[in-house]
Each structure stands twice: as C-alpha cells, then as structure tokens.
Amino acid sequence: MYDAVVLAYGAESDRYLGVPGEDLGGIYSAREFVWWYNGHPDCSNVSPDLKNTDTAVVLGQGNVALDVARILLRPINELETTDIAEHALTSLRESTIRKVYLVGRRGPVQAACTAKELREILGIKDLHVCIQKADLLTSAADEEELKKGRIQRRVYELFSKAATSHQQHDIVGQRELHFMFFRKPDRFLPSESGNTVSGVRLEKTCLKENGASGKQVAVGTGQFEDLKCGLVLKSVGYKSVPVDGLPFDEYRGVVPNMKGRVLSLDQAEHAIVEKGLYVTGWLKRGPTGIIATNLYCAEETVASILEDFKNGLLTPSSGSPKPGRQGLLQVLENKNARFVPFSGWEKIDTKERMEGELRNKPRKKITTWEELLLAVDG
Amino acid sequence: MVLSRFSQLGARFLKESGIVTGKAQEESSEQKEKITVTFVDKDGEEKVIQVPMGMSMLEAAHENDIELEGACEGSLACSTCHVIVMDMEYYNKLEDPADEENDMLDLAFGLTETSRLGCQVIAKPELDGMRLALPAATRNFAVDGFVPKPH
C-alpha cells in the first residue's frame, strides 16, 4: 500500500523479573503506574492502594524509576496545577507513603538515570535524601567507566554532592528518598492475608567484570535483608510488543534491523532486508535513551530510506504507484473499523484544554475510551 | 539633465526615507561593534564573518550561510549546533555552560574538551578573533552503503 513504512510504535510492555511473589497485589510495573497517573484509558482502573503503607520500593534507577518516585514524593499542591489525571490526584492526596526506596543492582557509577532527571528529584522541596557514603567508593574498574563516560561522570557527581549535602534529618514527618545500591530482589514477601505484598527480600551484590564485554555485572553474595513495604513498582525496562508477521528478536525485545532497515531470515537462515520496511526509536534500539537520543536514531533511519530511494530500491515492483492513504482508508472502511483522524484528536485536545482552564491546569485529561470517542463525535 | 534630476530626486528620496543613510547613521551613533569570528568546516574550509554583540554563534552562522544545524532553534533541546572552540584561550573566556547545556552536550557526537553549543556562545568583545570548528559529523553512522552479510 505504501512505498515505505516506518514502524515507530515504541515499547508498551514490561520486562518480567521472574522472581517468587511477583504476582502479589500491590506490585505493579512502573509503566502501569505511569499510565495510571497520566490518564491512559487502559490503566485508569489500576487503583494502586497508597493508604496501606508508609513505604514504597521502586526497583530500578533509570529515569522512569525516578519519575514514579517523584510523583509519590512531590508536595500535593505542586501536582494540583499539572495535568496529572484526576483519579491519581485524589489518590495521592490521601496517600500515606512517606518513604521511597530506589533500589539498584549495581552502584552509582552504573545508575541508568541521566543528570537532568536526577537534579529534578534531588531538588524536591523538604525532601530528605539518603545516600550511603560507602556506596560512593569507586573501584579501578569504576574509575575506567567514569573516565570514558561523560554522562556517567555527571550523574556520579550529583550523587556525591547529594550524599554530603543532605545530612540533617530532624524535621518530623519529612518525606524520605533512599538510594539503595548493590541490592537485587530475591523474592516478594506476602502479607498475613497472603495475597498482597508486605516486603521485598533483597540480596546484597558485588560487581564482577565480565571479561568479554568489559562491563561490570552484579553478582549475588548470599547475604539477604528484608525491606518492609506495601507498594512495589518494578522499573526494570520496557519491552516492545511483537506484531503478527513482523520479524522480532524475543530476547532483546526489538525488531532486527540494520540502520533502521528491517531484517528477516530467509530459508537458509540468512539475514535479508525487508523491502520498504523500516523501524525507528525504541522498537529499533530497545527502550533506552531520551528524546534527543531518538532524534539521532530517526536521522539514521531516514538516511537509510533516502539511500534506498536513491538506489531505486523503493520503486514498486509492479510498476504502478501504491495506493497510499486512499488504499488505507478503503481497507478501514471494508473492515468497518472505527478510527480517529487528526481532526478528531484536535477536538479531544480542545476539550481537555478547555476543561483544564476552568481548573487552573494546562488540561484536564479524559481517561476512558468512551468519553474520548464522545469528544470526537461531539 | 532630466535623468540626473530624477536620480537626484531618487537619492534624496532614499536619504530622507532613511533607507540608505539610516544604517550608516545607526552604526555611527550607536557605535555597534562587531567581532570577527572564523568558522572552519570539516574539510578545513574557513569562513570569516562579523558578528554583532549579543548575537549567538548559531544565529551568526545562519545569517552567513554556514552549515550549522540548529534543530531546536536554540532552546537547549538538542546538540546539533555543537561547535569546537579551537583555542583554549578563547574557550576559557566563555561563561561556564549551564546544567541544561551540559545535558545536551552529553549527547554530542565527537565531543571535545572545548566543545560548546553554538546557540549558547554569545558575541562579546573578548571573543574577537575566535575560531570555531564544525565537528566532522553530527551523526554516528557510516554512509558507505553497507550491505548486511549472511551469517
């Protein structure tokens, strides 16, 4: 139908930890939690219980982990003027959570978050930040990593500064953010009722150099400790969702590609390029990087498309031009499919912003599919 | 005679409407200073331009058709205007980069000890004579028509 199609649908699923107790109530993926407070219609009924505990544990130390911790710890009045979903605001207003642990398998040198996001969470008003000085000690291998990585260097410096400056803790009822390093989850502990989480058993780790890649990996030491909590958010990575008929690397969770050109395997298990099919963003590289990273990723894919076009690789084999958008609309009509054109999105956008204006917010999000479609039709 | 009269009228019209002499008047009354900046592209080609005080190097490059991309238009949301200050002496005369600039420099390809974002380097008298190199590439990939090998 098109001469070139670019798949840019990102990563909408989660990596599984594969640890006992993972299905207990009160354990969510960070993605579900983010979709919940952002008003995604598929997660408006997640209803996490924020009133059964004073402690939340976030597994992972990437930008998404920091984001969910930030939402749990920010003063509620600051959230009131944002476009956070109404049901989340209500829940957070009544939340009893006062301590959040951000748990990482490795150390501050390997933390996956980036400087801007770390600065923001460290700057939350009246927040007591706890970082153990001992965790900041660096090995020779750590120093090598810091030397080669400017991004890691700046993040490590922020952790060092935070460890020394946030010393006082005499304010009663102050919210706490704890960075726990060198810990990996062994299992989730059930409450007395048996179906909700009451804590996480963590195993202390140490770093070993993986000879082949030179990277340092976390290895369990056999020392365990239990961390009591009533809410667990797993932020251990997103995963792309495979599509029927699309080549997919199950292990890495990406579409096999070469500079954005989708690759499949022929009968002899050789990699061949799928004509006219391209991929970009998280679906291409895995769920890492920020907007600016995706900018360069997109440029690479576009360069491949232009190169293929220049080399005549995109001309239709039949000789007649592809039907394009008209063809697509025909297919949708034949299937009697409900679709929302951009003008429909504009109607939703206008409605949300109008409702927001009445409440001193940028917008008030519509959080169910029915209401969204009503806004399109209205 | 008629022609010259017309041209005199024309000249007077231009003068009185400020089009011709306006700029000269402005330059002489404000003494608007410019600094000399040399841009060196990846092939070593040099272009010497005049940059008025207060203008960013990105703006100046665009005004002089120098190939410096500025995808986010100076809003510190990308690193496509990455430039390399060729002399340490001039690099040290610049204000330290803000956290936000450093966040974007983190992603610049071919980053050096004297790299800055062109949109954040603003012309001031001390920078007269500065030389800026454009990085060899802004993207981290080869354009040699690589073909996948069977495995």
ipTM of model: 0.71
Of the candidates B104, B140, B150, which has its C-beta nearest A292's C-beta? B104
Task: Please indicate if the annotation marks A35 as binding a ligand.
Answer: no
For the whole model, what pTM was predicted? 0.83
Determine how many CB atoms are found less than 10 A away from the CB of residue A57. 27
Is residue A12 one of the residues assigned to a domain? no
Residue that the structure tokens 């924020």 belong to: A50
- Asked whether the beta carbons of A147 and A120 are under 8 A apart, the reply is no
Whether A58 and A187 share a structural domain: yes
pLDDT for residue A289 is more than 90 = no
Asked whether the beta carbons of A199 and A53 are under 8 A apart, the reply is no
Same domain, A225 and A360: no
**Start-to-end Cα distance in chain A:** 32
Same domain, A71 and A121: yes
Q: How many domains does chain A have?
A: 3
How far lies A175's CA from each of A48, A69, A207, in Å?
Answer: 19, 11, 31
Same domain as A282, residue A194: no
Separation of alpha carbons B43 and B110, rounded Å: 15
pLDDT band at A149 (very low <50, low <70, confident <90, very high): confident
Q: A359-366, long-range: CB within 8 Å, 24+ apart, which pairs?
A: A360/A81, A361/A80, A361/A81, A361/A82, A361/A83, A362/A82, A362/A83, A363/A83, A364/A83, A364/A86, A365/A38, A365/A39, A365/A83, A365/A85, A365/A86, A366/A39
CA distances from B11 to A220, B21, B24, B139 (A): 87, 10, 15, 52
Domain final position from A181, A212, A235:
A235
Closest CA to A225 of A257, A186, A270, A277: A186
Cα gap A75→A77, rounded to integer Å: 6
Measured in residues, chain B has a length of 151
Chain B residue whose CA is closest to A298: B139
The least confident of A98-102, A255-259, A281-285, B74-78 is B74-78
Residues A324 and A358 in one domain: no
User: Of A342, A303, A308, whose CA–CA distance to A325 is shortest?
Assistant: A342
No. of helices (H) and no. of strands (E), chain B: 5, 5
CA distance A33 to A302: 33
Cα A102 to chain centroid, rounded: 15
CB A11 within 8 A of CB A239: yes
The rounded Cα A350 to chain-centroid distance in angstroms is: 28
- The pLDDT assigned to A182 comes to 98
Interface residue of A156, A249, A299 to substitute, partner B, most B CBs within 10 Å:
A299
Residues of A in Cβ contact (< 8 Å) with B104: 292
Q: Taking CB atoms and an 8 Å cutoff, what residues of chain B touch A293? A: 107
Whether the predicted pLDDT of B143 surpasses 50: no
Of A195, A211, A235, which residue constitutes the final position of a domain? A235
Q: What is the mean pLDDT of chain B?
A: 79
Q: What is the mean pLDDT of residues A92-106?
A: 97
Whether residue A219 is found in the same domain as residue A279: no
Query: What domain range includes position A373?
Result: 342-377
pLDDT band at B139 (very low <50, low <70, confident <90, very high): low
Tell me which chain B residues have a C-beta less than 8 angstroms from the C-beta of A117: none
Structural domain contains residue A177:
yes
pLDDT of residue B16: 52
Question: Which chain A positions have a beta carbon within 8 Å of B146's beta carbon?
Answer: 258-259
Query: In terms of CATH architecture, what is B56-133?
Result: Roll (3.10)
Are the Cβ atoms of B77 and A263 closer than 8 angstroms?
A: no
User: Which CATH number covers residue A129?
Assistant: 3.50.50.60
A158 to chain B: closest CA residue: B99
